[in-house]
Structure formats: structure tokens, C-alpha cells
Chains A and B, each alone.
Chain A
Amino acid sequence: MKNIIIVFSLMMSMLLSLSAAHAAADIEINTPAISAIKGSMQSRHAQLAPFYSSGAVGFSRDGLVAVRDAAAVPLAQRQALNNLVAAENKDRNALYAEIANGNQHPEWEPEIRATFAKRWADKAQGGWWVQDGSGWVKK
């Protein structure tokens, strides 16, 4: 009798963990908050793209953008560039948190951030700079 209880509870827990794995197989990104952040980033991209190409700004391994080579930008433009980078990173941080929250898993934020960091780097155009484990690399 005792053995039956043990085997039964073992099977139950296996079933439960299996169904848990299947239940969470999708990521929701169509929330108003995510769309708003995406729109803001999309309109900023045209301003940032020249800095990506010149190497002034690169994609850091934490899923953000960073001023890599301020010397590539005329002194008069540097403050504007810093503001642009700060605004972009604010959006990116909000985006990662919002995806995690929107999927009822705030604790997923670091994994979502890491996934984005990898995909930004993979999809970056030739000539753009990305940060890997050892440092900045030109694609």
C-alpha cells in the first residue's frame, strides 16, 4: 500500500511538471505597452542608425546600446548623442521588463534581455559594432 502511494505521487508530479512545461510555450508581445515602446524605438532608429554605422554607438552584451567611440562624433553633437542613447536604453529596459511582466513572469527579465542582446547582435548590419564576451567587435 505504501509503495502504491509513492509511485502514484511520483507519477502525479511528473505529469504536473510536464504540463507546466507545455503551458508556457508562447511569448505575448502584442500588449499596448509593448507596442508603444516599440513605436518609440522605431522612430528613434533613424537618428541612431548613422551612429551605428560610424561606430560611435555599439550594441552592448546586456541588450542596450552604448557610446563606444565618442571621438567619432563632433563635440557639438555629443550631448545630443548621449541623450539619444539614454532614451534608447530607457526604452529597451522598459521593453524587457514589459515583456516579462506581460507574460506574468517578471523573473524572466534577465533571460529576455539576454535573448534580445543575442538577436540584436546577430541581426546588426555589417560595419556595426557589437560587444561579445571579450570586447567590441565590428561585424
Chain B
Amino acid sequence: MKHFYWALPAALLLPACVTINIYFPAAAAEKAADRIIDDVWQLQDKKAAPAAPAGETPAVQPAP
């Protein structure tokens, strides 16, 4: 009967390992996407240009 309890830590640790794989950093991914899109569309340069009908300027610009 006592042997049964030694299986318990393994059973509990397994979901913890799965957590590592399924966890997706959504906020970081969004920031990364914004940085790439700004680069591809050169939104930083376009801010100076008159043709910028987009009402909102890019909110997050952590220029390195």
C-alpha cells in the first residue's frame, strides 16, 4: 500500500511539465509582432510623412 504513494509525485509533476510546453507568452508575442510590423511597414519613418491617416500612432515604441 505504501508503494502507491510514491507514484503520486510523478503523477503531479507530469502536468507541471506539460505546463512548460503549453504556456504561450501572449503579451510578449504581441510586442514582438508590433516591432516586426513597425519594421516591415517602416511606421516610425512614416510618422513624419503627411500621409498618415491612421488615427492612432503606434502606442508602444521601445526603440532600442
For the complex, is A83 an interface residue (Cβ under 8 Å from B)?
A: no
Within 8 A of B (CB), among A1-28: 2, 5-6, 8-10, 12-14, 16-17, 20-21, 23-27
Q: Is the CB of A6 within 8 A of B13?
A: no
Return 28 A-B CB contacts under 8 Å, by A number.
A2-B2, A9-B8, A9-B13, A10-B12, A13-B13, A14-B16, A16-B13, A16-B19, A17-B19, A20-B20, A20-B23, A21-B19, A25-B28, A26-B25, A27-B32, A29-B32, A29-B36, A41-B40, A42-B39, A45-B40, A95-B36, A108-B24, A111-B24, A111-B26, A112-B29, A119-B34, A119-B37, A123-B54
Question: Which residues of chain B come closer than 8 Å to A119, judged between CB atoms?
Answer: 30, 33-34, 37
Q: How many pairs of residues, A versus B, come closer than 8 Å at their CB atoms?
A: 101
For the complex, is B53 an interface residue (Cβ under 8 Å from A)?
A: yes
For the complex, is A138 an interface residue (Cβ under 8 Å from B)?
A: no
Question: Which residues of chain B come closer than 8 Å to A90, judged between CB atoms?
Answer: none
Question: Which residues of chain A come closer than 8 Å to B5, judged between CB atoms?
Answer: 2, 5-6
Q: Which A-B residue pairs are the 10 nearest by beta carbons?
A: A9-B9, A13-B12, A16-B16, A27-B32, A20-B20, A126-B53, A119-B33, A17-B16, A17-B19, A27-B28
Known interface pairs A27-B32, A99-B32; A125-B16 also in contact (CB < 8 Å): no
